[in-house]
Structure 1
Amino acid sequence: MRYFFSLVFAFMTAIGFAQQAPAKQEPPYKRFPTVPPFELLQADSTTFTKAGLKKQATMIMYFSPSCDHCIHQIEDMEKRWKEFSSYQLVLATYQPMEELVEFIGKYKMKEQHNIKLGRDTQFMLPGFFVIKSLPYFAVYDKKGDLVTTFEGNVKVDKLLDALKGKK
């Protein structure tokens, strides 16, 4: 009888270890490598969506107006705004509108006609991209297909190369 219970115990242990771990699922931006269906509330209370994008290379930047890394990134990009002029830039945040309005004024964003800024009120983008740190960048070609993503500060040359289609 003792051998029977030992055998049953060994069999049950073997079955327990034989269970497969669940397959690790890819994040949504890899499963659906096109521009996500975002909705941003702009400072003028209008909504900017994916449908408003032009047929040109696009960079979505998720940031916080109070994040030091994000501020340094924008300051680096600001020095070379002209080089970004033939691309669509979408800057999205989750912070209150007051912070966004102040940020727009400080960095003269209204003068940049290729930049759209807004609040991700649905908090859709962090889940879609599985954002772990800011700033976060997703670069898409003119067809809306994902080229690459970056997390954290990135050299401006690297961003421009990605917008040109170079990985």
Structure 2
Amino acid sequence: MLRNTLIAAFLFCQAAAYGQQKESPARIPVEQINYEAMGAPMPAMLLLTNDTATAVKTKGRKHKKQDDFTLSPYNTKMYTEQHFDNKANLIVMMFNPTCGHCEDQTDRFIKEIALFKKSKLVLMANLGMKSYLPAFATNHHIAQYPDVITLGVDSADFIKNTFLYQALPQINIYSADRKLLKTYTGNVSMDTLAQFIQ
């Protein structure tokens, strides 16, 4: 008797599972975007910075109101891709603030800062590197270039979506309409990069 009851319960469970499979709606596959491919759109950006002295510059005028950025409980500014809507190329350097090659590349950018008329430079580190940013900013005098350079940590998987895991730093160059123009890994000469700086 117990055996027949267990068999009946097993068959009932199988039938219920089969019925559930038939009733579930078809799943629509989600298109995966390869953000590493040339011409790919720039992924969402959320850059957290410690710099509270710099005003965000958008649409030709400086904004200093609370509405122009969101403050976290840690007195950190949060910048999104809209803050970098400068109608020119955007250069994003993914780096480690303790990496010698990354420091050398930053020095190259600063030495040629006069090339940056409209283009912006975003220096983006992994979230775990946030404690190293103040020393990096001080050593490279980042605060002297608030209209050109924004330094912070990734908080929206930008690095996860775009990093090639080949060498540091990685420099992604996005067009004015935020399509990927070029990716460089390792040290890059300013002669090579100058063609993309507006």
Whether these two folds match at TM > 0.5 is yes
- The 3-state SS of whatever aligns with 1:76 is helix
Closer, same or farther: CA 136–64 of 1 in aligned 2, 3 Å: same
Correspondence 1:153 to 2:160: no
Q: CA deviation at 1:32?
A: 6.9
Correspondence 1:49 to 2:80: yes
Which residue in 2 is equivalent to 1:67? 99
**Aligned structure 1 segments of 4 or more residues deviating by more than 4 angstroms:** none
Q: Counterparts of 1:144 and 1:89 in 2: how far apart (Å)? A: 13
CA deviation map 1:103-157 (0-9, x unaligned):
11111111111111111134x1232113312100110121212211111110011
Q: Where do 5+ consecutive residues of structure 1 fail to align?
A: 1-24
Q: Counterparts of 1:104 and 1:159 in 2: how far apart (Å)? A: 22
| Partner of residue 114 from structure 1, selected from 129, 143, 148 | 148
Q: Counterparts of 1:120 and 1:126 in 2: how far apart (Å)? A: 7
Percent identity over the alignment is 24
Which residue in 2 is equivalent to 1:38? 45
| Partner of residue 112 from structure 2, selected from 80, 89, 94 | 80
Kept in 1: contact 2:115–2:197 (CA 8 A): no
CA deviation map 1:30-58 (0-9, x unaligned):
28712221111111401011111122111
Residue 79 of structure 2 aligns with an amino acid whose one-letter code is F
CA deviation map 1:41-77 (0-9, x unaligned):
1114010111111221110100111001101111222
Greater shift in the superposed pair: 155-164 or 61-70: 155-164
Q: Counterparts of 1:49 and 1:117 in 2: how far apart (Å)? A: 13
RMSD: 2.1
Which residue in 1 is equivalent to 2:122? 90
- Highest CA radius of gyration, 1 or 2? 2
Q: Where do 5+ consecutive residues of structure 2 fail to align?
A: 1-31, 53-75
Kept in 2: contact 1:59–1:89 (CA 8 A): yes
